[in-house]
Structure 1
Amino acid sequence: MATHSELRDFWERRLEGDWTESGVGYRALGRSFNTWMYRVREEVFLREVSRMDPGGASVLDVGSGTGFYTRLWERLGVGDITGCDMTDAAVERLRGRFPDHRFVRQDAADLDAFDVDSFDAVSCMDVLFHITDDGRYTSAFGEFARVLRPGGLLVISENCLQRPEQRGEHQVNRTLEWIAGTADKAGFDMVRRVPMLMLMNAQVDAPAAWRKVWGGALRAVTLTEPTGWLAGAALYPLERRLVRGRREGPTTELVAFRLRGQG
């Protein structure tokens, strides 16, 4: 597995060269397909977070990337948004794209730019499974608990496997049991878990044969941007129905927690 320094360099290079949905998403599937995929993510995030009534919250968006979720927090009408990312490439561009918000270079496992009890809500989307070191992953949950006010909302996306853990150089897909246990030790109660995607992403929590077949099919139909756009357009209406009708899925899920204590 890559070290933390190697991971930061990897993402610095990647976002410097591709500051788009494909740069922060499933790059092998191309920009056009990722654009459709992120439309589904957007719908799920807005639906679920609005149900948890963030109100006029002060929000920290960890791993802001292109600012996709920063924009969604704006649409939810929260009062104050701060963002951070581990790369200079993202932070510099985010400051230009969102001049009314504050952005700093911070890693999820070390949020020392922020004081205790600074925020009502924290989001960390499509970041945690890229933390390959378990100690740093655990530290990230500790940092979320530190900067959140008691009763605060934590919203993450994760690949909550109910199959054995999968470890790669730049990504670790951990088990639901391990993730829930780590959150619990940091002082969080899980309050919501729903699929963000069903078919438009790697099937990490499906049988190996299906993972291979479906992954190959997705890569084949997204070999070019025009075919990727058509594939995304075809899957989009089905994907919207599937994420509304399932309680869990074979790929990325949105998980919400509340920090224990007086809210």
Structure 2
Amino acid sequence: MTSHDERRAFWEERLGTDWTETGVGYRALGRPFNEWMYRVRRDVFLERMGSLGVDWSRASVLDVGSGTGFYVRAWQQLGAASITGSDLTEAAVARLRDRFPALRFERLDIADPGDALAGADFDAVSCMDVLFHITDDDRYTAAVESIARLVRPGGYFVLSENFLHRPTQRGANQVNRTIGWITACLDRAGFDVLHRAPFLVLMNAQVDAGPVWRKVWGGTLRAATLTEPTGWLAGAALYPLERRLVRARTESPTTEIMVCRRR
């Protein structure tokens, strides 16, 4: 298990040297493939949040773990009235403030945010591909409880996670937890799950698949993305298929998006 200081140092180094989709995404697959992958993520995020019937032009939102600002831009596309971003690292926050000079960004650890967002009351909070990087279960719980305090009653919490049906998988910088554990944590914090759907299907590590398929497909993706040109071609070929799969399937062997509502 990685300590808080080690986790922050890991992300400071990673985002300090690679502030791109690769830095926040699946580094082994290269930047061109990651850019196609993130197109799918953007499409799904916009569709899911747009389907809620919320007038985002009247809403204040918080993005936790903003990284390169990918979901900050998505909230702008949805027309959110007020957007606040945050990140664990100085490397990201300094660049985010330059990229989005009209918006507010805070350097904080969502598991222990201090008074950086004291008194805030958001209509929605997004936390995309962040929580599974919190390797300590108690800090994960603290992060969800902290988010719950920042969402007004009736407001929304959108997150992406791996929601395993298989046993929890623990690594140095990522823990893939079970769907039962995660939903119980959300329930205790005061969130009701509205829906869960695939965020990706084939364009990411198959963490909830059987060991043979996981190894075969992982090797196939790495081979297809050995060079930037082949990575771009692999992403371009998979993109239309992935868009159909995320719409047609109700479960995914990799990352899923979940929308919750604060009780």
Q: TM-score, normalised by structure 1?
A: 0.97
Runs of 4+ in 1 over 6 A off after TM superposition: none
* 2:75 alignment counterpart: 73
Q: How many residues align?
A: 260
| Residue number among 162, 165, 170 corresponding to 1:167 in the alignment | 170
Code of the residue aligned with 1:78 in structure 2: it is: A
Per-residue CA deviation, residues 225-254 of structure 1 (Å, 9 max, x unaligned), is: 111001001111100000010111000000
Q: Are 1:124 and 2:127 an aligned pair?
A: yes
Q: Distance in 1 between matches of 2:76 and 2:219?
A: 37
Q: Find the aligned partners of 2:66 and 2:23 in 1 and give their Cα distance.
A: 12
Task: Name the aligned partner's letter for residue 28 of structure 1.
Answer: A
Q: Supply the distance in 2 between the matched residues of 1:248 and 1:57 (Cα, whole angstroms).
A: 30
User: Equivalent residue of 2:203, what SS?
Assistant: coil
Q: Give yes or no for contact 1:160–1:179 (8 Å, CA) kept in 2.
A: yes
Partner of 1:187: 190
> Any idea what the Cα deviations from partners look like across 1:15-56, whole Å, max 9, x if unmatched?
000000000000000000000000000000000001113422
- Identity rate of aligned residues, in percent? 66
Give, in angstroms, the shift of residue 4 of structure 1: 1.1
Residue 42 of structure 2: aligned partner: 42
Residue in 2 aligned with 1:199?
202
Q: Report whether the alignment pairs 1:255 with 2:261.
A: no
- The match for 1:18 is 18
Q: Indicate the residue corresponding to 2:33 in structure 1.
A: 33
In the alignment, the residues of structure 2 paired with residue 49 and residue 13 of structure 1 have an alpha-carbon distance, to the nearest angstrom, of: 32
Structure 2 CA distance for aligned equivalents of residues 47 and 174 of structure 1: 26
Distance in 2 (alpha carbons) for counterparts of 1:105 and 1:54? 28
**Which sections of structure 1, spanning at least 5 residues, go unmatched?**
none
| Cα RMSD for the two superposed structures | 0.8
Tell me how far 1:117 sits from its aligned partner.
5.1
Q: TM-score w.r.t. structure 2 length?
A: 0.97
1:170-208 Cα deviation digits (max 9, x unpaired): 000000000000000000000010001000000000001
Q: Is the 8 A contact 1:83 1:102 kept in 2?
A: yes
Q: Deviations over 1:114-167 (max 9, x none)?
A: 124521100000100100000010001100111111111000000000111100
